[in-house]
Each structure stands twice: as C-alpha cells, then as structure tokens.
Chains A and B, each alone.
Chain A
Amino acid sequence: MRRGLISWSRDEVPVSVLESRLAALQARMREEDLGAMLLYTSFARPSAVAWLTHFVPYWNEGLLAVLPTGAPTLLAAFSKRMHGWIRSVSHVGEVRSVSNLGREAADLVGRLPGAPRIGVLELDTLPWPVAEPLLDSGRRVLTDASALFASVRQPADETEIRLAQRAADIAARALGSIPIEATRTSQVLAAVEASARLDGAEEVLARLAPDLGTGTALRRIEGDMPLGARYALELSIAYKAAWARVVRSLSANAPQSWRRAQAWTSQWATGITGVAGGAPPGAIAFWTLEACVGSQPFSVVGSAIGPRGTVSAGTLACYSIQLQLQDGPWLSGGPVVVGGDGPGRLLA
C-alpha cells in the first residue's frame, strides 16, 4: 500500500512538462481520430494518469478522460472532501467525485457530439466494475489505445529521468543503511524502509532472496527469516510518481567475483540495445528489461525468453540480471536510459 510522501513539487515537475505530455497524447489522438481517451488509475495501475497529471490515487481508483483539446477531467471514486488534496497534488481540469466510474464515463463520452471512437488504455484489462457500464451503455465504440499511449510514453523526458535518478539515489542510500551485522530479513527491511521514507520515497517495495546459497527467488517477506552469508535485495522506489528498481547482491564478505560481475553488467546494461560488453563472467541465468509503457510502473519489454521487441533509444528502463558465477549466483539490476547510437546511461 502507498504510505509514503505524496506531494507535487512544481520545481521538480513543472506544469509545462505535464502539459507537454498531455499535448503529445492529444496530438496522437487527433491523428487517430479519437474523440476521447479514458485512462484508468488505481493503486495497482497508477502510472499513466500520474505521468499526465501527477495524480496518484493511493488506495482508491479513478478514470481520466482526455479530449483532443483542453484540460482532462478526473473522475475520482473519492468523496468531495478529498478535492482539496487532489488539487494540491495534481494538475487536472475538472475533478468529479463519482460513485460509479464506468457509468459516469459512459455519460461523459455519450454527450460528445457526433459519434466519435473512444480510446481506452488497456481496454482488455479494465476492471469489470468500471468496464461493464461503459460497454453496456452501447453509446460509443470503444477501442484499445494502448499502442497509441505507448507511442508517446517513451522516450522519457528529462524531468522523468531526473525523478528516476532521485529514486535510484534514495534506493542507494537505503541499501547503504543496511547494518553490516544484519542477520535477519527484518533488520534489512526495517533499515531500508526507514531510510527511503525519510528520504521522501512515495513507495518502497522490497523483495528479498534471503540466502543465495539456497535460492535466488526474490520473495515478499512475511514474518522474519535468517539471512544467509550472501543474499539479494530488490528495491522498487517511487519518487513523485517516477519509479526506479534496483537489485543488489549483498554480503559482509563480498567475493572478488562480484566486482567483476558488476563491471561486466554495467557494460552490458548500457549496451543493451547494441553491443554487449564482452563475454560474461558466468552463465546468464536470466535477465529482464522493464519500462513504463502503460498504467503499471513496470512492464516487461524484453527478457531472456521474450518479448524481444525493439526498445527505442531514450527509453527509461530497469534491467535485472542473474549470473551464475563459479562461486554461486549473483543478482543485479538498476535503471538505465537506453542508448541509441551511443551507450546508454546508468542511473544507479
């Protein structure tokens, strides 16, 4: 659950940036002859609406209605009492408190002149309570607009890259706060949580492989577990709606092989769409490349077993890799701005 700082700094996320993102989407909508676009947001799917408006619905849900011109309307399943808070953290036109998002959205698009097509981000996965009244109203043709949205979502602008850099820095400091003598998962998780939240993190999601000697699965820890001599921690940090995911293998006695692995991985990650950094120091057990292209903070855009689509230069992504070194498994990962003709840029 979201429980960290949610605030909007106009210096860090200028209104002009949000409006330029919206304008890019509206231009594509006009090209595709869409009369409106609907974008769903919830705790699980906050990213598209946050990217356009800086609004994050913490525990609730909403639907953003974007017309080809003008400011978007936010339909929010919040009471009117929350309008002040919504206004303070986001840049939208009208805010409406509604009890039924789908029905209100159906009414809204139903009043549009003519018979325009309505684009819906991730139409297939729209939660049924929202989708049902929209579909049953039968007043407008709904079309999936996920590809359209993805076409404007990346490459990332410098504002988002700076926020992701800040998130990566928060993660780095959190990793540095882990007591060297930690022997339990609870010590690790408490330390990173305190550090990241006091540093202004909006969200901290941690998965931990407690003992690389027995397994590499990054687990959501319930309760407490002993740490092995070598363990790995994945931190997904949100800062002002931008996310960075960092994975590190940790040990009080880190072997030399890990340093070589990190050096190779940095080369590999920056050349992820180009030439890899020579032979890896161990077998590549698995890798993924994740980027924000829709409503979720991360989507898998490449992995060892697919998909293998082209990721455009300038995309803000996070790589994760697992190497099988001679002395055991090693996990790493971090945010990277994917390179084009030149190398990419590592943010952590």
Chain B
Amino acid sequence: MPERLRAERRARLAAAMAAEGINLLVVAGNPWRSDYLRFAVDLTPVEGQVFAFVRREGPTRVIAEFPAEAARFRAEQGDLQVTWSTSPTEEAEAALRSLDGECVALAPLAAVPQRLATGPLRSTMAAATALLDRLMLRKSPLEIAAFRRAAALADEGYAVFCDAARVGRPEYALVADVEAFFRSRGCPENFQILGSGGREVRGMHPPTERRLAPGDLVTTELTPCVDGYYAQICRTLVIGTPSEPQRRAFSVYDEALAAGIAAVRPGATAGEVARAQNEVFRRHGLGEYVTSEYTRVRGHGLGLYVDGRPALLEDVGLVLEAGMTLIVHPNTYHPEVGYFVHGDSVRVTNEGCEVLTRTPRRLFSVAAG
C-alpha cells in the first residue's frame, strides 16, 4: 500500500507540475512540517531540515541535515539521490544556483527557511504551495483507505485510553499506555493532548503529573498516523458516575457534533460547518463559549498533517469537496463542568459525508473505586 500511495501521489504531482509548467519543485520539510515532503517524495524527517528536488520527470535529489537520516532515506527508497550536510540550506542554495534556465518553484511557505525564501524563487512560493495544497486537500481513494485505517486505530486507541484511566494514575501514564499500544500496532506517530479535573480546566495540554480523582472529567484527542495519514477522535469520560451537570453538558456537545456533521457536504463552506455547531451552543445560552476566549476551532482538516486546512471557523469560506477529510469537534469550555471535547473524523462524499469514527458518541465513565 505505501508504495502504491507513493507512486500515485508522484503521478498526481507530476501532472500538476506539468499543468503549471514547473520542471523542478523544491520541497522543504522538517519533523514538524513533514506533510508536504511526505506528499511529494514520501519522506518523513525525524530530525533536521530536509530539501527534496523533485523533477517532473527523473530522479529526485534529497539533501538531509543528519547522516543517519540520509542513510535512512537511502534505505527506504533506493532510487533517491541523497546527500547530507550540516548546512543543508546552504547546500540547497548552491544546488539551486547550478540550475540554469529551468522553471523551478519552491514550497511550502510554512517550511521554507528565510535564506531560500529571500532568493530568486521568492515569487514562486505562494503558487507552488497552493498547488500542493490543492493536491493534498482532496484525497484519492488510496489516501482515504489509509485515513480510514487511522480512524479505526483511533477507535481502538480510545478503548485503551478508557482502560488506562483509573483513579490515582498520573496523566502521563495514560499517554504511555496509549502510545505503547500504537507502537504495538505499527503506528509510528500519534498526536495527543488531554485534560483532567473539573471547572478549573480550560483546555487540553500535554500530559502532566496530575493524578486522576473521582468526579474528574478526562478529555483527550487522539490522532494516530497510518501510512502518513492522521485521523482523530475526541471524547470525554468521567471518573465515576456522571453528575447531572456533566450529563446536561454532554447533551449540548453531542447535539453540536451532530449538527456539524449534518452540515458537512460538498458545496458547504468550512464556515457553515462551524456555524452549525456554534448555533447549538447559542441556542443553549452558551454562545460566549464558542468565541476565541474559550476555544480555538470547531474542527479542522486531517491528512498528512494533524491540524490541516480548512480550519472550521465561521469566517472560513473554503468550499468543501468530495474527498476532503476532517475532524468535526465542538470542543470548548463549559461553565458548569469545565473543558469538554467530543469529535469524529469524517470524509466528505459526493452525497454528504461519511463518519469514520466508530466509537459511540456517549459520555464515557469508568469506575471510581
């Protein structure tokens, strides 16, 4: 599957480059923004800056910053021409100077270092980034298949998380259990944040030493990666029997999630999906809590990056198309119970959307004793 995905993405990229008249696309990446590099050449850096010189036709040259990474890239793909340098940006700059008269473009804006961006390719960056964005937004059936497997793994991961949530355990122990499970399933990456406690909890964060206590709301978002594609699940559980305010709060978030998912269809905007969720909160007198004071986004794109386009915010006009993949999550603070999360991964279909998350939409609870 990974080799088929690689070949398919490469062919799509070559066609797009041909359409734009680009002979050579220089793609920058690093361990944080590896998504464009992954799409273009199927590489995921563990450390250092990496540049790939992707020709429309012909071999790809890769410049890595670390010898171990260079050796790994060669082992992963024998047809790549890989070198390493402690100054990869200078090396890439020198390589670009040696190209004469070719139509070259540089991307993505998020990962290009200043030294290259201020060079002669500055004017190409916006268009080249947009080219890749277009390709990455709409997933092919093979990409959707990987996303689907990631969503299934997220479901399994949440079951592990529930088992791990016991009174007295520190937050980081829950994450340890989940990460070990994902590694046991061959999943190399997971983005996870969580929160635990009551009304004082305003958001999620990396795990701390705080130990779970009876009555806690325990929130998490899990985002495992399969073949490069991230899918996400957001759920909230209670340590012990949920209180009436916790149940009431859940019903609002559940209604908002359903409304958001119902709004996902081709032709709708990202803003409409956000608005559908926010209207539920407004109807319940909680409109204040869907502002930036209390929450960030009502969901976002998923794929080769954990927090991709589009952001689901009311002022985002990006039009949804079949093949896009999203998390819809009305996560925000609730004044009676604290920060609360609830979200499903979905794909936009020709008719509407398919929910790929299979974990029931309920307020989970685990024994307090």
A interface residues (Cβ-Cβ under 8 A, vs B): 1-7, 42-45, 58-59, 61, 79-82, 84-85, 123-129, 131-132, 135, 185-187, 189-191, 193-194, 197-198, 200, 204-205, 207, 215-224, 234, 236, 286, 288, 296-300, 303, 307, 320
Contacts and interface: CB of A to CB of B under 8 A. Distances in A.
Interface stretch (B256-264, B269-277, B292-300, B350-358): B292-300
Contacts of A187: 184
Contact of A190 (B74, B170, B183): B183
Contacts of B181: 190
B202 A84 contact: yes
Interface of B: 2, 30-33, 44, 46-49, 65-68, 71-72, 74-76, 86, 89-90, 109-115, 117-118, 125, 170-173, 175-177, 179-181, 183-186, 188-193, 202-203, 205-209, 227-228, 292-294, 296, 306-307, 333
Contacts of B209: 5, 7
Contact of B191 (A3, A4, A135): A3
Contacts of A296: 47-48
A6 B207 contact: yes
A221 B185 contact: no
A300 B66 contact: yes
A2 B175 CA distance: 11
Contact of B46 (A4, A200, A205, A216): A205
B176 A198 contact: yes
A6 B206 contact: yes
Given A193-B179, A218-B68, A4 B113 contact: no
Given A81-B203, A135-B114, A197 B172 contact: yes
Nearest to B45: A44
B75 A215 contact: yes
Contacts of B180: 190-191, 193-194, 197
A79 B184 contact: no
A61 B68 CA distance: 26
Contacts of A44: 30-33, 47
Given A85-B205, A193-B180, A5 B294 contact: no
Contacts of B206: 2-6, 58
B186 A124 contact: no
Contacts of B292: 79
Nearest to B171: A5
Given A127-B113, A298-B47, A3 B30 contact: no
Contacts of A84: 202
Complex A-B, nearest 9 residue pairs according to Cβ-Cβ distance, in ascending order: A197-B176, A217-B75, A194-B180, A131-B114, A190-B184, A5-B172, A124-B115, A128-B117, A189-B183
B203 A59 contact: no
A41 to B, nearest CB: 11
B207 A222 contact: no
17 contacts: A2-B206, A3-B191, A5-B171, A5-B206, A6-B206, A42-B32, A81-B203, A126-B114, A131-B113, A193-B183, A197-B173, A198-B176, A207-B68, A217-B75, A219-B72, A222-B227, A300-B86
A224 B171 CA distance: 28
Given A234-B68, A299-B86, A222 B30 contact: no
Contacts of B177: 194
B89 A125 contact: yes
A186 B180 CA distance: 9
B172 A200 contact: yes
Nearest to A82: B203
B175 A3 contact: yes
A207 B191 contact: no
Contacts of A185: 186
Contacts of B67: 286, 288, 300, 303
A271 B333 CA distance: 56
